[in-house]
Chain A
Amino acid sequence: MRKTTALALTILITVFVFCTVSVAQPGGDIVAGQISPWRNAHFVILAYGAVWVGLALYVLRLAMLARSLRRELSALEELASDSE
């Protein structure tokens, strides 16, 4: 499970970096309202990517917390059964 999540995150980040690099213009950033509106696309990809990665990391944190609580619960159950 952890390996799959790590792999999925790695793929997500790689695609995200690749898209950003591929749309970034060698001429540098430009102020809006000039020439092609697509020239600033890498900022949009970075911003949307940051939101998705941020949310994915938080969901992963919740999953890890749930897992650690499950472990703690089974440890307590074992402790209780031992004392009986």
Chain B
Amino acid sequence: MESGKLSRTRWTRGIWIVATVTVIAGFAVSIYLVFISTGIERNLGFSQKIFYFHVPCAWITYLAFGIAAISSILYLIRNNQVWDSIAYSSIELGTVFTTLVIVTGPLWARPTWGAYWVWDARLTTTLILWLIELSYLLLRAFVEEPEKAAKYGAVLALLGALDIPIIHYSVVLWRGMHPVVMQSDAGGGGLPSEFFVALMISLATFTLLFFLLLTVRVRLELVRSRLTNVRNRIFEQGLA
């Protein structure tokens, strides 16, 4: 029994080391491709390099909210703490990446459009998503009863998830300044092959980093809620 547990721990540790090394190597390769191997885009100039970090951050925003929405549905159906921990952790991590999207976007917009911010449909709907994420985190922090906080949070996560398709299709529905990033009908998403490869490697690296951080965060959240339960039980017994 003990040796089985030990070998499982070794396996987990091994997977962790491999994943961490892959993320570091992935970022090194991405930086090489973005700044050395890939050329400078003719129209957008050097500032186009922001694309390779901006787009993956936006993708992680979608992914994080998607995971949170599915976990919230499962939490509401099964009432299992694990699903709530996944939803909470995913939205917390998603908030970090949405913040990075909102920071890197204007830094690219300034040299491209001549303004840091325009009230374009995609920018506005992304800002709304960020506000939803912040309100979710505030709700979780201020509702005192953990079960109520989890239920309200799950409902808010589901409502917030409705914003994801709106963000994605906003560039098609309301033609604003934000370009369509990838054209699904064109080979390589309509990008030159060297740009496409650099973007894909960056996307894969960010996705792996997201899952690594999400695993750590979920574990910590589960430990935190168990510790809270144990502490409450000790105090209840002490008071009884």
Residues of B near A44 (CB, < 8 A) are 46-47, 49-50, 107
Minimal Cβ-Cβ distance residue in B for A57? B96
CB distance from A36 to the nearest CB of B (A): 8
A residues near B99, Cβ cutoff 8 Å: 54
Q: Does B213 contact A58, Cβ atoms closer than 8 Å?
A: yes
Give the chain B neighbours of A66 by CB distance below 8 A.
220
Residues of A within 8 A of B50 (CB): 43-44, 47-48
Kindly list chain A residues whose C-beta atoms are within 8 Å of the C-beta of B42: 33
Chain B contact-residue range equals: 35 or more
Within A36-50, the residues touching B (CB, 8 Å) are 37-41, 43-44, 46-48, 50
A40 x B111 contact (CB < 8 A): yes
Interface of B (DSSP majority class): helix
Q: How many Å from the CB of A26 to the closest CB on chain B?
A: 16
Which B residues are CB-close (under 8 A) to A43? 47, 50, 107-108, 110-111
Q: Which of A32, A38, A62 lies in contact with B112, CB distance below 8 A? A: A32
Q: How far is the CA of A29 from the CA of B224 in the complex (A)?
A: 48
CA distance A37 to B216 in the complex (A): 40
Query: Shortest distance in angstroms between A29's beta carbon and chain B's nearest beta carbon?
Result: 6
Contacts of B44 in A (CB 8 A): 32-33
A55 contacts chain B at the CB level, 8 A cutoff? yes
- Can you spell out 14 A-B residue pairs with CB atoms less than 8 angstroms apart? A29-B110, A29-B111, A37-B45, A38-B46, A44-B46, A44-B47, A46-B107, A48-B50, A51-B104, A54-B100, A55-B209, A59-B213, A66-B220, A69-B224
